[in-house]
Structure 1
């Protein structure tokens, strides 16, 4: 620890000790001690001492990049940063310790070009949080999920993760539900691979290395989009599900007639949203006891109409046949008399004449 007797610098002087000229003394004159002892203390320090240091680190260190000792390249951007601050992140600490440097100023490369969840804005906010909590002021509903993704990737930012997650949870709405449905959708497996990927996502084949670029001896693996969020994945899935079966139906008029024929009714809006759901989420939502949609007959009719829309507009339904049944005589499935099933369509049999 700096300042202890066991820890000395190369010049033989302990940090804070007195040299032959008395410079650098950790002891001050009685007059100075008396002058400072009367200053108001805050958390044991005079005035806003800690806050001023953190603000200086954020403005001069992160924003301006003064006195940097390392370059960080990500998303076609370059940051002039400081290794001691970056070491707060387990991911970046590992990257720095395993990057072979050919000489000159140290540099590390974070390969995120094909990761949709970690955006440049989200990564910059998480990076700035290593210096100061001032980054929290930059989080809003449009970038909160990207900040959460970046914070989960870098690690060591539990407070930032919770803050960004809370913004995400409170921002789920009808206007952005499409984006959240893409998030909760189950990734598809790549042919011949056990690693799930999203449809349309470019395969990561490695970061192109330019001449003179440091190489990674042991690059930390980059998680897939949903696994990147760790435990927050399931929490966000639960929040989206709660919005679909509780919040959204409560905000829509599902029973009254639409006064404006040119506008879709509340039932039609809910049907369009449910038509986009992955099958397992659609099934769970329709069968959920918390899904308040009138009588069992009304819920059955809603599910049946939604399945018809899914057949026409949902590419996931291709090759499968979804049906809904209504149980009579008191029988129910998981607390609901409405039960949704899915089976593969039978392939047509062709008769070959001899």
Structure 2
């Protein structure tokens, strides 16, 4: 068990906060705020009409920035004057309940953890959330103190930050930044890891069955968004990156052998439901129906040695002809069925 002070950052990198005034008279820590107590800047300070005033006082954004800088440096990174000890993974944080209360998840832990002399101790259960790394959780935790954490999100940790942010709650801006970083990180080099991730996402429930238990359930609506992003990459972006273009007659794709081979390798690892949807999608432009049918057959053959191997299901591809195909539909269809068990003949 070790005590951490997270990430030391240059003191110049800090975001300013936005203050909001209450609509009615309130009292917090002995300070009263009245919504009708504002004074005209020009009336009280005619020689400073170019400045912004609130309740007769000049805008204190620089002062607010210094407060946030102090909170992050001394409160989060150094843990001074802490009243709460937080345990997560193998790390121990000395923090402050008033800041942690910004997170609905941590509020629940605080309210159910008794305080018997000294700092309150809380334990964050993340053992069943493999997507939440120590770094990702630290960035999300720091965001409760300052938006400087937004600058720490990188492609390598974005998914872990998103998972931690979704679990803690109350940090939509951080989640959105992490999600957009995830979206931009989908590439040929990373598609294998993203395919493993979407394969773990449970299919949308109809409500009639028991929800599946998944290691990615914590992402909420972002899970489906990332699934859609991976699908768009496979169907639209990847053929473009590999320079697979159709001829004017749409008879066959113009591409190098290496580009087509890469496309086959990627599709040989795609989960079946996404593979079927991609092959049959009108947006998957790799040539004529015959060209798409040939590609699908080769992909199915390659899948037999990888994702579709084993005694379970058998994947097949069919090419439909005639007028049954409506506009915007695919003549190429992918199906899957259980393999027939071999019949054993018993000799008498």
Same fold (TM over 0.5): yes
Q: Could you tell me the TM-score, scaled by structure 1's length?
A: 0.76
> For residue 213 of structure 1, what is the aligned residue in structure 2?
none
Contact 2:271 2:307 in 1 (8 A): no
> For residue 236 of structure 2, what is the aligned residue in structure 1?
246
> For residue 41 of structure 2, what is the aligned residue in structure 1?
none
Q: Give the one of 307, 324, 344 matched to 2:338.
A: 344
> For residue 202 of structure 1, what is the aligned residue in structure 2?
none
Deviations 1:158-186 (A, max 9, x none): 11111111111111111111111111104
> For residue 207 of structure 1, what is the aligned residue in structure 2?
none
Contact 2:200 2:215 in 1 (8 A): no
SS, match of residue 346 in structure 1 = coil
Question: Does the alignment pair 1:282 with 2:297?
Answer: no
> For residue 161 of structure 1, what is the aligned residue in structure 2?
175
1:16–1:150 CA distance, 2 compared to 1 (3 A): closer
Q: Counterparts of 1:80 and 1:243 in 2: how far apart (Å)?
A: 42
> For residue 74 of structure 2, what is the aligned residue in structure 1?
60
Q: Counterparts of 1:42 and 1:225 in 2: how far apart (Å)?
A: 50
Deviations 1:164-219 (A, max 9, x none): 11111111111111111111104589xxx95645xxxxxxxxxxxxxxxxxxxxxx
Instruction: Write the mapping of 1:228-247 to structure 2, written as runs, cut at 5 A.
Output: 228-247=218-237
Cα offset, 1:271, TM superposition: 0.8
Contact 1:321 1:345 in 2 (8 A): yes
Contact 1:253 1:267 in 2 (8 A): no
SS, match of residue 307 in structure 1 = helix
For structure 2, the residue ranges without an aligned partner over 5 or more in a row are 1-20, 33-43, 204-208, 245-252
Deviations 1:285-305 (A, max 9, x none): 000000011111111000000
Q: Give the one of 299, 313, 320 matched to 2:313.
A: 320
Question: Does the alignment pair 1:94 with 2:112?
Answer: no
Root mean square deviation, CA, Å: 3.0
> For residue 329 of structure 1, what is the aligned residue in structure 2?
322
SS, match of residue 304 in structure 2 = helix
> For residue 30 of structure 1, what is the aligned residue in structure 2?
none
SS, match of residue 346 in structure 2 = coil
> For residue 129 of structure 1, what is the aligned residue in structure 2?
143
Q: Counterparts of 2:100 and 2:235 in 1: how far apart (Å)?
A: 42
Paired residue total: 298
Contact 1:253 1:265 in 2 (8 A): no
Instruction: Write the mapping of 1:198-277 to structure 2, written as runs, cut at 5 A.
Output: 224-254=214-244, 255-256=253-254, 258=256, 265-277=258-270
> For residue 6 of structure 2, what is the aligned residue in structure 1?
none
SS, match of residue 343 in structure 2 = coil
Q: Counterparts of 2:25 and 2:224 in 1: how far apart (Å)?
A: 49
Question: Does the alignment pair 1:292 with 2:285?
Answer: yes
Contact 2:84 2:96 in 1 (8 A): yes
1:100–1:352 CA distance, 2 compared to 1 (3 A): farther
